Amino acid sequence: MNLTEVWTAYMAILRERAPVTAASIRPPRTAGERESAESATTPWTEELREFYVLHDGQHETYSDENGPVGSVLPDYTLSSLDQVVGRHRFSLENLHPIDDLGADWPAVVRAQEAGETAEMFLPAYVPFAEDGAGGTTYVDTRAGTRSGCVRNFSYDSADQGAPWFDSLTDYIAVLLRSVETGSAVYDNVAPSFVDGVLEWGDPAFSEGSMAYAATLPIVRIPFALIDFRPSQLSDDDDLLDLDHVRRTVVDTARRLHPGAFVGDARAVYRQVPRVRGANMNWWVSVDGAETVFTAIVTGEEHDVIVLELPSGGCVLEVDD
């Protein structure tokens, strides 16, 4: 699935389960306005241009008059074009101090590629979300194999740390998977749906999330899942044969839906570690309806356990 397809699927499930949050997404601006925003910042990646064809950010996540509207991104509010330009300009005018890194550090930064730590905000960083405390999520548009990766910048640690995701497509796909299954995105940050609002937090401290989870069907899994970030993998890692997995997913779909027309399986991730508990979602057309399957790595050869996920979400529980 490309970015438009993933975003469309994400918005569809939010309109169904979090209509207040879905309604807070601003419609996209004109092509001229998008071009002006790009001209005021830095040349964008094609994917970032596609992203802002789909929306113009999100209204504030809380209104004194109307109450909370939730957030489409965990811990961050999706920025409008005006906010993108404003945050980009502000960050360049208030640079993170690098005096302690030596006189040669600017030359080091100029030789870097996307995904590397510059210890400062660069013109090539395009912020697209803010946390309200000075932190931003941005697309690194520098050249290199990781051009277009999604990263975080804060005034405490600048751009330290590996990229969160290889692309915006990967990022939104993870959020889609999270709201479909109720699984955590990172650090136990999981979605909950309360009064039409999507909220993100630790399920153990969210009464609304627990109440919602109680209504979801339980899908049993043989062992615990593990989280991984595709951006942290390389061809040198022990990777799963995704062609083998795709065939297994299609065969499972055909077995579960005898007589139905089953199309090919599509996934967002391009690299998955061959480690027990790693997992990824696959989208399969079954008689024209998009159906989600999850493939769980067993750790034995390239074998996976394939489960069809209920369309309204589910709770994954490990067998004792």
> What are the residue ranges spanned by the domains of the chain?
3-170, 216-320
Amino acid in position 293: F
Residues 296, 298, 302, 303, CA torsion sign: negative
pLDDT of residue 15: 94
pLDDT at 276: 93
- C-alpha–C-alpha distance, residues 153 and 138, integer Å: 7
Q: Looking at residue 194, what is its pLDDT?
A: 86
Spatial contact of 47 and 5, defined as CB atoms under 8 Å apart? no
Can you give the pLDDT at residue 214?
A: 55
Q: Return the closest-CA partner of residue 176 out of 290, 275, 264.
A: 290
Q: Where are the beta strands (DSSP E) in the chain?
A: 62-63, 67-68, 77-78, 125-130, 136-140, 149-153, 190-194, 197-201, 218-221, 262-266, 279-286, 289-297, 304-308, 315-318
Q: What is the mean pLDDT of each run of 10 residues along the chain (320 residues)?
A: 93 93 95 97 97 93 65 93 95 78 85 91 95 88 95 85 90 93 82 90 51 65 79 80 94 93 84 90 85 91 92 75
pTM greater than 0.85: no
Q: DSSP letter at 114?
A: T
CB distance 263 to 284 below 8 Å: yes
pLDDT, residue 208, reads: 42
Phi, psi of 248 (to 5 degrees): -65, -40
Distances (CA, A) of 133 to 49, 76, 120, 153: 26, 10, 17, 11
- Give the separation between CA 12 and CA 15, rounded to whole angstroms: 5
Please state which CATH class domain 3-170 belongs to: alpha beta
Closest CA to 216 of 320, 316, 70, 318: 316
CB 210 within 8 A of CB 203: yes
Residue 229's pLDDT is what? 65
- Within its chain, how far is the Cα of 92 from the centroid? 26
